[in-house]
Amino acid sequence: MGIPLDSLLEDDRNIYELTSAIIRRAYQIGEIRRAFSSDEHGSVIEDGDKVVSQAIREVIEDEVRFELTEG
């Protein structure tokens, strides 16, 4: 599944907050994939969406919740 461009263009939330949430979610997805999908040599096995595409889709479609804090 690709990036939901229509939803992305119609989203009226703060683009900087969305970007921050997407970056953080992409990092989480990458860490999970590295922990659970590595072969015996430590290589990541690719399956499904790309990490950033999956993170964008999850944040834009409200599959994950996020809250930004100062500090």
Helix crossing, 51-60 with 15-36: angle to 10°?
130
Domain ranges across the chain: 5-60
pLDDT at 7 over 60: yes
pTM, whole model, 2 decimals?
0.77
Report how far residue 25's alpha carbon sits from residue 51's, in angstroms, rounded to the nearest whole number.
9
> pLDDT tens, 9-57?
888 999 999 999 999 999 999 998 888 876 665 556 666 778 999 999 9
Per-residue H/E/C for the chain: CCCCHHHHHHCCCCHHHHHHHHHHHHHHHHHHHHHHCECCCCCECCCCCCHHHHHHHHHHCCCCCCCCCCC
71 or 66, greater pLDDT: 66
pLDDT band, very low/low/confident/very high, at 1 (cuts 50, 70, 90): low
